Amino acid sequence: MFSKACEYGIRSVLFIAEQSQLDKRPNIVEIAKAVDSPEPFTAKICQQLARSGIILSRKGPNGGFYLEKDSKLTLAEIVACIDGDSIFKGCSLGLPQCSAAHPCPVHDQFNDVREGLKKMCENTTVTQLSEKLRKGETFLKI
């Protein structure tokens, strides 16, 4: 459903959030290893997220990426930064002319899926998900 970049971006932000709760700032090598992502790709994604203000970074010996502990960041914000909002608005078959007036074969069926995904992403915070990681209720890599 999400692009590979968005998947890695979400996983990276969740790991960064989890580490931020422990007062740690992971670097690209640590993030890539934790989320099973190629380092160069992880670096590119994290730079994009940092430029957009989704995550924060600090340079130097104690540097790395982090989130504020009281962050209200949602999954929708990460998705919008990396993939844009087309997943919430666009045609599921990628047809540019698809609309309610001129629907593709799956337009009506996919509307419910798209709306459900949008609602879930808008109502789910990174803090909620990172707390489940911290407690061991969920995982990013086995």
pLDDT recorded at residue 92: 85
User: Cα–Cα–Cα angle for 8, 40, 75, nearest 5°?
Assistant: 20
pLDDT grade for 137, boundaries at 50, 70 and 90 = very high
Our measurement of the distance from residue 101's CA atom to the centroid of its chain's CA atoms, rounded to an integer in Å, reads 32
The domain limits of the chain are: 4-135
pLDDT recorded at residue 86: 82
Count of Cβ atoms closer than 10 Å to residue 17 Cβ: 26
- pLDDT tens-digit profile of 75-130? 999 999 999 988 888 888 889 899 889 999 999 888 889 899 999 999 999 999 99
- pLDDT tens-digit profile of 15-68? 999 999 999 999 999 999 999 999 999 999 999 999 999 999 999 888 999 999
Q: Rounded distance, CA 131 to CA 137, Å?
A: 9
Q: What is the pTM of this model?
A: 0.90
pLDDT grade for 6, boundaries at 50, 70 and 90 = very high
Residue 77: CA atoms inside 13 Å, Cβ hemisphere, count? 16
CATH number of 4-135: 1.10.10.10
Q: Rounded distance, CA 19 to CA 50, Å?
A: 16
Closest by CA to 12, choosing from 35, 29, 38, is: 35
Beta-bridge partners for 56: 66
